């Protein structure tokens, strides 16, 4: 989202007035560069809100058309609410300072470093927060602690997003999207098939088509993934049979995941249906207030303080957009 700058009337007739436009330029340039490389837009349903909080939820499918014969009456069909989930927007703040001495001594490098570091801190915070939310999904956690505050990461059904016992709202058996299978060409096919068989809250078949492989930045995992999908022939034998996984996947390698997933054992991996995620709200990110920057003069130090404030939050809703593999205690597919 674009940065909103508050008018700074207290700078107009001061030594800081001439540096206000360059500082804005540094902030905007840095924000644009980060936005181009951010993975948040690929992994979350990104939205905006004008509310304190919003209720996320799903609707069950209708039963569909019925054969009624010639001149038959219209059968009554209906749908009902699925599980609901409330997301409340957190406030995030930071500031940086430009001293009067920087302006007087024309320390342009210091002037560039301050807004650049401020903007990098804001965008990196968003990326890290998104990775923390996703790591909680993959670990089967119902919450995550990020910079001293606890955030809810459960789905609308009250279970962790990746869990073995997702209950149906209306009818149907419990379902699992948490699997112990480590990554391989064969297990990629097994987890994909399991996702395609996920059912809705009314026990209906869904049009789930996973299209994205999500992994942390791990050399062995990258090698395994691209061995499995990177050639049009079977990568595991000399017969070179047709490899149906070739050309079908987007691969997201997210280094920010590493610090939240921990070490030890086989790295986890996940399949994501990006279309289902965006249409039904699996991982949801809403911006309530975009980054708003204002400046004030500190009467004690004569420094100009640039204060940034934003409100946003992210959480999980409909679990069916994702399945995780390689986790201890997960359902075993064979």
Reported as a pLDDT band with limits 50, 70 and 90, residue 275 is very high
Is the pLDDT assigned to residue 278 strictly greater than 60?
A: yes
Is the pLDDT assigned to residue 266 strictly greater than 80?
A: no
Please state the rounded mean pLDDT for residues 141-159. 96
Higher pLDDT, 65 or 212: 212
Reported as a pLDDT band with limits 50, 70 and 90, residue 25 is confident
Instruction: Give 59's DSSP letter.
Output: E
> % helix / strand / coil in the chain, to the nearest 5?
30, 30, 40
Higher pLDDT, 70 or 77: 70
Distances (CA, A) of 206 to 147, 174, 277, 320, 324: 38, 15, 13, 9, 19
Please state the rounded mean pLDDT for residues 83-97. 92
Mean pLDDT comparison of 105-114, 278-287, 290-299, highest-scoring range: 278-287
Tokens for 65, please give them.
Answer: 């058309």
SS3 312: strand
Q: What pLDDT does residue 125 have?
A: 96
Q: What pLDDT does residue 329 have?
A: 93
- Positive/negative CA dihedral, 47, 48, 53, 55: negative
Q: What pLDDT does residue 72 have?
A: 86
* Dist. CA 188–CA 183, nearest whole Å: 6
* Dist. CA 18–CA 91, nearest whole Å: 31
With respect to CATH, is domain 4-62+80-325 assigned 3.90.1690?
yes
Q: What pLDDT does residue 244 have?
A: 72
Q: What pLDDT does residue 69 have?
A: 86
Q: What pLDDT does residue 117 have?
A: 85
Tokens for 45, please give them.
Answer: 């349903």
Is the pLDDT assigned to residue 106 strictly greater than 70?
A: no
Is the pLDDT assigned to residue 66 strictly greater than 70?
A: yes
pTM: 0.87
Q: What pLDDT does residue 16 have?
A: 57
Minimum mean pLDDT among 56-65, 101-110, 259-268: which range? 101-110
> Over the stretch 205-252, which tens digit does the pLDDT of each residue have?
888 999 999 999 999 999 999 999 987 666 566 656 677 777 789 999
Reported as a pLDDT band with limits 50, 70 and 90, residue 272 is very high
Those residues with Cβ within 8 angstroms of residue 118's Cβ, 6 or more apart along the chain or in another chain: 27, 94, 95, 96, 306, 308
* Dist. CA 120–CA 60, nearest whole Å: 42
Q: What pLDDT does residue 183 have?
A: 95
Q: What pLDDT does residue 321 have?
A: 97
């Amino acid at each position: 989202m674009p940065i909103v700058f508050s008018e700074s009337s207290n700078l107009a007739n001061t030594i800081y007035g001439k540096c206000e436009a360059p500082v804005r330029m540094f902030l905007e340039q840095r924000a644009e560069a980060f936005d181009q490389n951010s993975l948040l837009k690929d992994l979350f349903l990104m939205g905006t809100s004008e509310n304190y909080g919003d209720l996320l939820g799903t609707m069950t499918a209708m039963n569909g058309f019925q054969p009624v014969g010639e001149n038959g009456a219209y059968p009554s069909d209906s749908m009902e609410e699925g599980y609901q989930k409330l997301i409340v927007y957190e406030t995030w703040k930071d500031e940086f300072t430009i001293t009067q001495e920087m302006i007087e001594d024309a320390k342009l490098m210091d002037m560039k470093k301050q807004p650049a570091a401020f903007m990098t801190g804001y965008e990196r915070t968003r990326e890290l927060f998104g990775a923390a939310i996703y790591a909680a999904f993959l670990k089967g956690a119902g919450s995550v602690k990020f910079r001293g505050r606890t955030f809810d990461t459960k789905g609308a059904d009250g279970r962790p997003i990746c869990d073995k016992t997702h209950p149906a709202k209306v009818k149907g058996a419990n379902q699992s999207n948490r699997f112990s299978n480590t990554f391989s060409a064969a297990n990629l096919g097994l987890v994909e098939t399991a996702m395609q068989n996920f059912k809705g809250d009314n026990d209906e078949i869904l049009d789930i088509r996973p299209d994205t492989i999500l992994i942390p930045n791990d050399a062995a995992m990258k090698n395994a993934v691209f061995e499995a999908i990177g050639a049009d022939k079977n990568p595991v034998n000399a017969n070179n049979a047709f490899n149906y996984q070739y050309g079908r996947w987007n691969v997201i390698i997210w280094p920010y995941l590493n610090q939240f997933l921990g070490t030890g054992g086989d790295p986890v991996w996940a399949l994501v249906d990006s279309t289902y995620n965006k249409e039904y709200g699996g991982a949801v990110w809403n911006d309530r207030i975009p980054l708003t920057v204002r400046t004030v003069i500190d009467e004690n130090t004569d420094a100009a303080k640039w204060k940034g404030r934003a409100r946003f939050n992210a959480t999980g809703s409909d679990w069916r957009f994702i399945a995780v593999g390689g986790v201890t205690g997960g359902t075993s597919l064979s």
